Copies of this chain bind each other. A is one copy, B any other.
Amino acid sequence: MTTIYKVAERAGVSLSTVSRVLNGRKTVNEALRKKVEAAVKEMNYRPSSVARSLATSRSDSVGVLVSELATPFFGEMLQSIETTLREANKHVIITVGHNDLQQEKEAVEFLISRNCDALILQVGALEDSYIQSINEEKVPVSVVNRNVSGLEQASFILNNEQGGYLCTKFLIEQGHRDIAYISGPLEKCDAAERFNGHKRALEEAGIAFSPSLYFEGCYREEDGEAGLAHLLELGAKFSALVCGNDWMASGALSFARKKGIALPSELSIVGFDNIVFARHVFPTLTTVNHPIAEMGEMAAKYILNKVYSEENTIQNVFLPEMVLRDSCAKNPGAK
C-alpha cells in the first residue's frame, strides 16, 4: 500500500509537507508543492480516510438510517440526500433499520463508531429520548418524517393532519358522505395524524365517524386489498375510500377492479404520497403530494449548516397539496 510516507520519500520532502498539500494548505513552497503533486499522481496515491478520520475524529461523511430501501418513496428521499451532500463533497453512509428497535440502535452505533460527522434518521422504533441523547452526547442528528420533541429545529415533517383533512374534505365537497378509511399502522405518528385529519373533516361536515368504515393496515399494498375486502364484508355502504398511502390505494384499486366495482363511478379512491406510479395506475390516482425529496434535501442542508458551517435557509414543516386525477367522481347519490 502506498502511504503518505512513501509519497514523501519519492518527492524528497517530509510527510508533513505532503499532508499540507493534500489538505490544501497555502503555506507551501510552490516548487515543493509541484514535486508532491507529481509524486501523488505517479504513485496513484489516495489517502486512507480511515487513518485520517482516526487522527481528526472527523470523516466528512454523514450517516443515513432509513427504515426501508426497496420502496420508491424512501428511494427518492435517499437520492435527494445523497445528491445534496455530494455537492458539498460529503459522503453518505446508508444503513437500514427495518423499523426494528434493535436494528435501529445497532445501525446508529455503527454509524457513530464510523466517526460520521452527523446522522440523518428516518426511523420508527427509536424513542425520542434516545435520539435526543445521541444528538447531545455524540453527533448532531436530523430527523425526517417525524417530530422529535426537543429537536424541532432538526425535524423535517409534512403536516400530515392537514393532508388527511384535505383528502376527506375534498371527497365531501364532491358530495360524498359515506367515506371509508384504510389507515396505516396507528402507532406510527404519520398514520395517526392523517387519520385525525380525516376525522376533523368529517366532524366539520357534521358526519359521524363509523367504525364499520374503518380498517387499519400496515401501509403495504396487500393491506389495501385486505382492507377493502374487509370493509365490503362488513356491509356498510360507502361511495368513497381514503387510503393512508398510495400503496394501499393501489392495492384497493386493483382489488376493486377485480371485484367488478366501477371506478370511479361506484367508488372514489384517494391515496397519499403521490409516488411516481400514482399516475400509471388505473384510474390514475387522486392523492396528496408528499414532498419527500425536498424534505430529505432540507435535512441534508440542515446538517450542512450545523456541521459544515454552510448557511442554507431551512424549512421544517411542509404543506400537503391535493393532486387531482381520475380516481374520484362526484357522488351520484348526492342531491
Interface residues of A (CB under 8 A from B): 46-51, 53-54, 59, 68-72, 74-76, 78-79, 82, 86, 91-96, 103, 109-110, 112-115, 221, 250-251, 253-254, 257, 276-277, 279-284
- Give the dominant DSSP class at A's interface: helix
Question: Once the chains bind, are B113 and A50 in contact (CB under 8 Å)?
Answer: yes
Question: Once the chains bind, are B72 and A71 in contact (CB under 8 Å)?
Answer: yes
A50 in contact with B115 given A75-B70, A75-B71, A250-B277 (CB within 8 Å): yes
Count identical subunits in the complex. Answer: 2
Could you say which of B54, B92, B110, B254 contacts A54, with CB atoms under 8 Å apart? B54
User: A72 vs B76: C-alpha distance in the bound complex, in angstroms?
Assistant: 10
Could you say which of B71, B91, B279, B281 contacts A95, with CB atoms under 8 Å apart? B91
Task: Give the residues in chain B near A282, CB-CB below 8 Å.
Answer: 257, 281-283
Q: Which residue of B lies closest to A276 (CB)?
A: B221
Could you say which of B47, B75, B93 contacts A72, with CB atoms under 8 Å apart? B75
Task: Give the residues in chain B near A281, CB-CB below 8 Å.
Answer: 277, 280-282
User: A199 vs B102: C-alpha distance in the bound complex, in angstroms?
Assistant: 52
Question: Once the chains bind, are B69 and A110 in contact (CB under 8 Å)?
Answer: no
Q: Can you name 8 extra interface pairs (CB under 8 A) apart from A70-B75, A277-B277, A281-B281?
A: A46-B109, A47-B113, A48-B54, A48-B113, A50-B114, A82-B96, A86-B103, A277-B281
